[in-house]
Structure 1
Amino acid sequence: MINLLKNSKQLYAAAILTGCCFLLACENDADKVKDWTKKVIMQEEATDIDSYLSQNGVMKARLKAPKMIRFYADTIYVEFPQTLHVDFYDDSTQIESRLDCRYGKYFESINKVYLRDSVVVITVKGDTLRSPDLWWDQNSKMFYTDKYAIYHGIGKQIYGGKGLTATQDLSSVIFNQPEGTVQMSQNGLPK
């Protein structure tokens, strides 16, 4: 019995001594640990993009951009870091409006596009919407922003200091806190 206790004490002592050796022998270089544990975001890059968007077999838009980068992060998104041009089509595949900007970011999971830096939307009727940044919701076919925007139409020039909501074809433009001039007809309605 005494011999068994003596052996178990020696066994515990050997285990503690071996554990201490392992702890003292480990060396973790902080840079190497960061390399092994850093989050890697996969990405794909393409140039000279010419893409078509269709819903239920009907073409809705054509997108052109010199460069596109798709990021596979927590939220998958696509960046257009240089410029972006989109032609929007009506149900008879005729162009109803055009969009140009210097930067775009498409969030695939929510079907929304963030546009910034000299955003311009022009309809075939000549109506023009300008804003420093704008969101486009593909599902509702709406533009919206909380930034300053300018709308020029036939006989209309409206400024909005606190944002707007507009349909994709600019047939309906609703400003938050609008300013500007609108020509009125004889019956008191805007022309």
Structure 2
Amino acid sequence: MTKLYLLFLPLLLFISCDNSEDKSAVSEPYTGPLQEAENLDLYYSESATVKVKLETKKLWEYASGDMEFPEGLYMEFYDETGKKTSTLKANEAYYFKEEDKYRGRGNVIIKSIENNQELKTEELFWKPDKEQMYTDEFVTITLPDQVLYGHGLVAKQDFSSYEITKPEGVFYLEDE
């Protein structure tokens, strides 16, 4: 009987020990992506006409509806006839659902196919509902015959028109 008592005594002591460290440890809520996808081609359309094609190697979607494109994205924009008008490429991107806007970062390049123009910047925002792109960062726009520089830009999503908010450099004016 004594042997049995000696066997249960350590067990009772172990059970009665208060391990306050375990009780105070509260797990943090999970904030990572709820869904992950790879090698996606997504299409946005209006009235059965493709307006935007988005390609990405990796997509993470969060509980808030926000989406992250950690390996970048490539987008093509189309006019109402289905003709490709411009492209956008970024090294990484993020979609903010509540604001319905995208942010591209790292070597962001927009190419206007019709106008043979190219924009380069390090950060660019796109508002699909307004079909508008903008940035406060330094921009370089390459035209067939000149290069424009400045800080800040507001442009249509197809890059058919734009305004550099703080232009820099030498400008050529035509006499009328």
Structure 1 equivalent of residue 42 of structure 2: 51
Structure 1 equivalent of residue 57 of structure 2: 66
Letter in 1 for 2:91: R
| Distance of 2:86 and 2:24 partners within structure 1 | 52
Kept after mapping to 2: 8 A contact 1:155/1:182:
no
Q: Report which of the two has the higher share of helix.
A: 1
Aligned with residue 84 of structure 1, among 73, 83, 86: 73
| Distance of 1:174 and 1:67 partners within structure 2 | 32
Deviations 1:3-52 (A, max 9, x none): xxxxxxxxxxxxxxxxxxxxxx86542686322xx222252100011110
Kept after mapping to 2: 8 A contact 1:52/1:59:
yes
| Distance of 1:56 and 1:106 partners within structure 2 | 23
Structure 1 equivalent of residue 103 of structure 2: 114
Aligned with residue 135 of structure 1, among 116, 121, 125: 125
| Distance of 2:23 and 2:175 partners within structure 1 | 75
| Distance of 2:128 and 2:142 partners within structure 1 | 23
Q: Tell me how far 1:164 sits from its aligned partner.
A: 1.1
User: Which blocks of at least 5 consecutive residues in structure 2 are unaligned?
Assistant: 1-16
Q: Does 1:102 align with 2:91?
A: yes
Kept after mapping to 2: 8 A contact 1:101/1:115:
yes
Deviations 1:51-77 (A, max 9, x none): 1011343211001111111111xx321
Kept after mapping to 2: 8 A contact 1:157/1:181:
no
Letter in 1 for 2:103: Y
User: Aligned in 2, Cα 1:34/1:158: closer, same or farther, shift over 3 Å?
Assistant: same
Higher relative contact order (CA 8 A, sep 6+): 2
Deviations 1:113-153 (A, max 9, x none): 00000000001131111100000010111110111111112
Identity of aligned residues (%): 25
TM-score by length of 1: 0.75
Structure 1 equivalent of residue 136 of structure 2: 146
TM-score by length of 2: 0.81
| Distance of 2:66 and 2:92 partners within structure 1 | 13
Letter in 2 for 1:105: Y
The alignment covers a number of residue pairs equal to 159
Kept after mapping to 1: 8 A contact 2:112/2:160:
no
Kept after mapping to 2: 8 A contact 1:157/1:182:
no
RMSD: 2.1
